[in-house]
Every structure is written in C-alpha cells, then in structure tokens.
Amino acid sequence: MARSFSTGNYIKRMAPGDWTPTGAIAFWVKPNGWSSNPTPATGADHCIFRLHQLTPGAVFDFSRQQASGNMFVGWYSAGEARIITSDSGFFSASVWAHHVVHWQASGEPPYGPITVWYINGTQVAFTTAAFTIPSGMDELRIGADVVGSVGADADIAEFARWDHLLSDPQIAALVAGWRPSSTEAGLSTGLLRYVPILGDNSPEPELITNADMTLVGTPAQATHPALLSSTNLKTINGLANASCKTVNGLALASVKTWGGLA
C-alpha cells in the first residue's frame, strides 16, 4: 500500500544527511484531481517532496505551481538551477506515473552540471545550470513543502535515492515495476535510501539505513502501484508473463528477461 498525501499530512526526516554531488531520485506519483492545464491564479500548489536547508535556504524541489502551470524540479542553491517547465500533459489524475530525477554538479565528469527529469522512462526536461550541493541539509519532507502549507494532493510510493546517475536500463526496470532494492535488475548498487511507503507503520520505514520517516498528520493508506516480484518472474499480479502486456498501464516490451533472467 502507498499513502495519500494532502495539506498537513506528510512524512518527514530531520537531518537527512548530506546529498552526493552526483545522484538520482525515483518515485511513483498518482495525482488526485490535478488539472493538466491549470487556469492561472486558481487552485492550490502541489509539492511532491522537498529537501531543504534553513540557512542559507538551499532546496531540492519537486513541486508544481498552479498559477503558472510550471513544474520546479531540482536544486536551488546560491542561485536558480532547477528545471522550470510547463507541466502540460505530464500528469493525469488518478493514474500512477514513475518519475526519475538525476543530477550531476559542476565539475563532475563526464557531462558537467546537469539535471534531468524522466517520466515513465522518457526524458521530458533537463537543465545544465550549475549548482552547489550544500552540506548539512535540515529536513526532507515527502508530501509537503517546507512549511507544510502546500501538500502533494497525490498518492506517493517507492521513494529511493542513489549516489550515481541511473542508466537507461535501470530507469526502464523501475518503470516496469522493479523495486529500487532489486539486485536482479541492477538497482541495489549505490542505493542510499529507500522508503517503500507502504502505509502500515509509524514511523514509515526506511530500509537501507533505518532512517525512518515520521508521520505528520494522518496521510491515509492508498493502493500501491503494481510491482514485479524479484523472486518470481513467471507471474505479475497473477498473470502469466506471456500474457501480461502492461504494468500500471504501461506497455512492456518483454517481462521475460528483466534483470537478465529467463
């Protein structure tokens, strides 16, 4: 099971640790009642997650501004370095979508500074704006902004962070339903944090370092996105793999060879 997050109902981790100059975040999101083409100056904003530092005010952001219809994705630290782009067509109400954001700070080979955003395995936006990742981040919130006044208004699950850029096959494996901790799909190496967000426990367990996340308010339990089993590739949700064409509504080229297994 996932959780449904709204204003005043989120999970948080104080002192979440330093974030690496190169890294990636992945998660599933199902918006609840968002408009794909918002009318300016109407409705609420939506914040899926935010990592922040109180001084000097650095953030890693994944949020949507209703008035402008823009998404803000990535780092804001000593200057604007986030992806800022229209969200038109990026989200559908009540439909799960998989997101990956990975980044590389200035001076890191081979690309130099870059932040890239993928939805369901397809690159949708990027920026090459330089940024610096400060040490000593104060708080990570999933489902709310810094002050908690802007909620996600969405179901969220399978939040994970790595210390490297994800490859195209790794992103495809996540979209196909592999868990971030899967060794079969080559995802477990460099995995720094993994919060499945199952909605069964308080605090919400983090499985890599036990950096569990505190519940604030009452984020309700919600239906989890369908995931592949790491121990049984013969069936997905009870369907034989030969007949299973989709997971979470996404077409699969083949479910017979994920992770290199027959």
pLDDT tens string 129-144: 888 887 778 889 999 9
17 contact partners, CB below 8 Å, separation of at least 6: 137, 211
Which architecture, in CATH terms, is 2-228? Answer: Sandwich (2.60)
Question: What radius of gyration, in Å, describes the C-alpha atoms of the chain?
Answer: 18
The pLDDT of residue 145 is 86
Q: Residue 180's Cα: distance from chain center in Å?
A: 11
pTM, to two decimals:
0.83
Q: Residue ranges of the domains in the chain?
A: 2-228
Judged by average pLDDT, the poorest of 25-39, 85-99, 169-183, 234-248 is 234-248
Q: Is the pLDDT of residue 228 over 50?
A: yes
Q: Which residue has the higher pLDDT, 151 or 26?
A: 26
| Portion of the chain with pLDDT greater than 90, in percent | 46
The pLDDT of residue 138 is 87
